[in-house]
Amino acid sequence: MSDPRGPQPLAPRILAGDIRAASRLMRMIDDGSPGATPELRAIFPHTGQAYVIGITGSPGAGKSTLTDRLIAHYRKAGLSVGVIAVDPTSPFTGGAILGDRIRMQGHATDPKVFIRSLATRGNLGGLSRATGDCIRVMDAMGRQVILVETVGVGQDEIDIAGLAHTTVVVLVPGMGDDIQAIKAGILEVADVFAVNKADLDGADRVVRELNAMLELRHAIRAPPVGMEHDAHHQLTAAEKQERDDREWEPPIQKVIAAKDQKVDELVAAIQQHRDWLERTGNKAVREQSRAGTQFVALLRDRLLEAGLARLEREKGNLAEVSRRIAERSADPYQLADELAQQARSGR
């Protein structure tokens, strides 16, 4: 990977579609290297062309297989594809499992399929910031569709889902009671539900439960302004149109990724959501929300770096401060408020 000419500005090469330059910048992002920022600033004005699809859901749901099928579909349609497999595993394994698995499934020789795993070493957060930055790299390279696959269902994964135009939540039958908690957590971020392994017992039950949750959500949502006092009001065609433009009703699509069944239907459901975003003007709303999610993740990371640097300069390094807190000779709430006060006022 080393370049005999020494470090070069990567941005122009990335904008020309150079895979090696993009790989290098993504590695720098994953490592938290400060050298990534000027490159990201240089490519930023050229981003915003790609369509970003998130694939998320519980472990064992078959997301990687489904991602593989979606790659094949979009390639057949002539589109270039980028895939980011977010894999918050330890440095121990290098976090390459997912990417390797997908890569082995037959896209290895296709230059129009670019797959990277993202692990993000270190324990100071940063995963959703790094994911957002890597999306921009693939976008700047000219990838037309970017698939972002996340393992696990946690707060960070929900943040990452906010980086996509369309988020596909993958469920499978027979995940036990915790499925309730998962479904509740992801209901808000799902634009499309995929019930994978739909040939297994219990698939219909998952569909029924999802439908019930969606109806419940529908029922408790506030009615439009001016209609609050008339629950039995019959919607006119114009009112119904207005509601449909405002609210997206996530479709629930059964699929059997391992047998390549119903994948076209799932792709159609994703396309419906995309059409809805564009037709209703919600695409701009979504883009703004994506930009905000990504900016907050970036700001959080940068502020924490700065705050820890200031802590070290004024109070001692983190290990030393942690020792004093553990011994109850320092007050963490006071320390944090003091540092935050300085960030707030600039004094």
Task: Establish if 201 lies at the interface with a copy of itself (CB under 8 A).
Answer: no
Q: How far apart are the first and last CA of the chain?
A: 45
97 or 235, CB closer to a copy of itself? 97
Among residues 4, 6, 176, 226, which is the contact residue for a copy of itself, using CB under 8 A?
Answer: 176
Written as six digits, the tokens of 89 are 């595993």
Task: Establish if 178 lies at the interface with a copy of itself (CB under 8 A).
Answer: yes
- 35, 33, 79, 19: which is closest to 53 by C-alpha? 79
159/282 Cα distance (integer angstroms): 19
Within 219-258, the residues that bind a copy of itself by CB under 8 A are 220
CB of 143 to a copy of itself, least distance (A): 18
- 202, 144, 148, 145: which is closest to 171 by C-alpha? 202
Among residues 98, 113, 194, 266, which is the contact residue for a copy of itself, using CB under 8 A?
Answer: 98
CB of 238 to a copy of itself, least distance (A): 28
Size of interface with a copy of itself, in residues (CB under 8 A): 101
243 or 286, CB closer to a copy of itself? 286
15/32 Cα distance (integer angstroms): 21
Contact letters for a copy of itself, residues 297-316 (x by CB under 8 A): -xxx-xxxxxxxxxx-----
Q: Which residue has the tokens 């330059």?
A: 21
**Which segment (11-19, 25-33, 58-66, 200-208) binds a copy of itself by CB under 8 A?**
58-66
Contact letters for a copy of itself, residues 108-127 (x by CB under 8 A): ------------x--xxx-x
Among residues 12, 16, 110, 188, which is the contact residue for a copy of itself, using CB under 8 A?
Answer: 188
Task: Establish if 9 lies at the interface with a copy of itself (CB under 8 A).
Answer: no
Contact letters for a copy of itself, residues 132-161 (x by CB under 8 A): -------------------xxxxxxxxx--
CB of 268 to a copy of itself, least distance (A): 26
**Which segment (19-27, 68-76, 95-103, 227-235) binds a copy of itself by CB under 8 A?**
95-103
Within 266-295, the residues that bind a copy of itself by CB under 8 A are 284, 287-295
Task: Establish if 340 lies at the interface with a copy of itself (CB under 8 A).
Answer: yes
